[in-house]
């Protein structure tokens, strides 16, 4: 049975195109397209035209939002850096006050499904690997990297203090960070890369080697009864 006739407003809504995306939404769409293009073509071969085609938008719209390729790549790197920082700081905040729980959360955050994807890892490597991008990387990520390392070193120092050990917390944190970076590189360069869970288990094995009282390759040991 046919329904009531459509009003003029309803008919108009059926025929008119959807409202244009907001400026922020469009910029995010273009940045996501840049991440995909970087993963496929690398830093040097990525062009504004490539990004526009992947996004299904005009070259002029990319120019309107970012003006130049350098600006687009800079904004993409800022986006990735903030996404990474928010991911690990949020994971730590939810982990509770014990330094072992926080260190576990910090390491596991590198393998979160929204962070540890082939496209995002490949994009990070594109920025790391191109000599011309290094000043850009240092400008936007140097402080974030140092903060990440300082926090990890502080957590390692807190665990060493609980255990009454005088090992060098800076070196331990450096090994953990280097191991994480190395696993990311393997995950995009191996012919048959391993899954995120295997990558995380590799890092947990590293933690267990330094702090067997708190970690195993399967995860964190129970903290029941441990003073926080």
pTM metric for this prediction: 0.84
Q: How confident is the model at residue 228 (pLDDT cuts 50, 70, 90)?
A: very low
Q: How confident is the model at residue 48 (pLDDT cuts 50, 70, 90)?
A: very high
Cross-strand pairs, 219 = 216
The rounded percent of the chain whose pLDDT value lies above 70 is 87
pLDDT in tens, 74-86: 999 999 999 999 9
Q: What is the pLDDT of residue 130?
A: 78
Secondary structure (3-state) at 219: strand
> What is the residue extent of each domain of the chain?
76-220
Topology (CATH) of 76-220: Tetracycline Repressor; domain 2 (1.10.357)
- Do 204 and 110 form a contact (C-beta atoms < 8 A)? no
Q: What is the pLDDT of residue 74?
A: 92
Write down the residue that tokens 């995010």 correspond to.
28
């Amino acid at each position: 049975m046919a329904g009531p006739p459509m009003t003029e407003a309803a008919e108009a809504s059926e025929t008119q195109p959807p409202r244009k995306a907001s400026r922020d939404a469009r910029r995010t769409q273009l940045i996501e397209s840049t991440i995909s293009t970087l993963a496929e073509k690398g830093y040097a071969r990525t062009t504004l035209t490539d990004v526009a085609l992947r996004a299904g938008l005009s070259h002029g719209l990319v120019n309107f939002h970012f003006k130049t390729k350098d600006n687009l790549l800079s904004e993409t790197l800022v986006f990735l850096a903030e996404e990474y920082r928010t991911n690990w700081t949020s994971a730590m905040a939810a982990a509770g006050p014990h330094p072992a729980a926080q260190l576990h959360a910090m390491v596991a955050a590198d393998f979160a499904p929204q962070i540890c994807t082939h496209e995002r890892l490949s994009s990070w490597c594109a920025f790391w690997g191109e000599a011309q991008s290094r000043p850009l990387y240092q400008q936007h990520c140097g402080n974030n990297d140092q903060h990440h390392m300082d926090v990890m070193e502080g957590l390692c120092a807190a665990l060493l203090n609980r255990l009454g050990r005088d090992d060098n917390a800076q070196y331990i944190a450096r090994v953990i960070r280097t191991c994480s970076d190395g696993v990311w590189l393997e995950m995009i360069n191996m012919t048959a890369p391993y899954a995120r869970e295997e990558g995380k288990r590799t890092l947990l094995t590293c933690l267990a080697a330094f702090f067997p009282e708190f970690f195993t390759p399967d995860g964190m040991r129970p903290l029941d009864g441990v003073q926080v």
